[in-house]
Amino acid sequence: MSKLQLPAEWAPQDGIMLTWPHPHGDWLPWLSQVEHVYSQIVTAVSPYEQLLIICYDQQHQSHIENILHQQGVDQNQFQFHIIRGNDSWARDHGPITVIEELSPKLLDFGFNGWGNKYEAEQDNLISQTLYNQKAFADVDIEAWPLILEGGSIDSDGQGTLLTTEHCLLSPTRNPQLNKSDVEGILKTSMGIDRVLWLNKGELIGDDTDCHIDMLARFCDVDTIAYTDCDDESDPHYLPLKDMMAELTAFKKADGQPYKLVALPIPKAIYNQDGQRLPASYANFLIINQAVLLPTYGDEMDKVASQRLSRCFPDRKIIEINCQALIEQFGSLHCITMQLPKGILRP
Q: Which residues, 6+ apart, have CB-to-CB distance to 248 below 8 Å?
A: 257, 260
Binning the chain into helix, strand and coil, the percentages to the nearest 5 are 30, 25, 40
Question: Per residue in 205-221, pLDDT tens?
Answer: 999 999 999 999 999 99
Question: Per residue in 34-65, pLDDT tens?
Answer: 999 999 999 999 999 999 999 999 999 999 99
DSSP strands (E only) in 156-287: 160-164, 194-198, 216-220, 223-227, 259-263, 285-287
Q: Give the mean model confidence (pLDDT) for residues 62-71.
A: 96
The reported pLDDT for the residue numbered 3 is 87
Q: Inter-axis angle of helices 31-45 and 58-71, to 10 degrees?
A: 60
In terms of Cα–Cα distance, which of 245, 251, 258 is closest to 217? 258
Q: Give the mean model confidence (pLDDT) for residues 2-30.
A: 95
- CB atoms closer than 10 angstroms to residue 69: 10
Work out the pLDDT band at 1, boundaries 50, 70, 90. very low
Give percent of the chain above pLDDT 70: 99
Cβ(225)–Cβ(177) below 8 Å: no
Q: Where are the domains of the chain?
A: 4-340
pLDDT surpasses 60 at 325: yes
Q: Give the mean model confidence (pLDDT) for residues 141-154.
A: 97
Work out the pLDDT band at 133, boundaries 50, 70, 90. very high
The reported pLDDT for the residue numbered 346 is 81
Give percent of the chain above pLDDT 90: 97
Name the helix (H) or strand (E) containing 13. Answer: strand 13-19
In terms of Cα–Cα distance, which of 201, 202, 187 is closest to 146? 187
Dist. CA 23–CA 199, nearest whole Å: 37
Cβ(285)–Cβ(250) below 8 Å: no
Give the strand order in the sheet containing 50-55: 78-82, 50-55, 13-19, 336-340
Q: Which residues does the annotation mark as catalytic? A: 334
The reported pLDDT for the residue numbered 2 is 56
Query: Considering only the top CATH level, what class is 4-340?
Result: alpha beta
Question: Per residue in 286-297, pLDDT tens?
Answer: 999 999 999 999
Q: Going by DSSP bridges, is the β-strand pair 13-19/4-5 parallel, antiparallel, or unpaired? A: unpaired
In terms of Cα–Cα distance, which of 168, 95, 174, 150 is closest to 127? 95
Dist. CA 203–CA 226, nearest whole Å: 12
H-assigned helices in the chain? 31-45, 58-71, 90-93, 113-116, 126-132, 165-168, 179-190, 237-249, 300-311
Average pLDDT, the chain: 97
Give the strand order in the sheet containing 194-198: 153-155, 160-164, 194-198
Residues β-bridged to residue 109 = 144
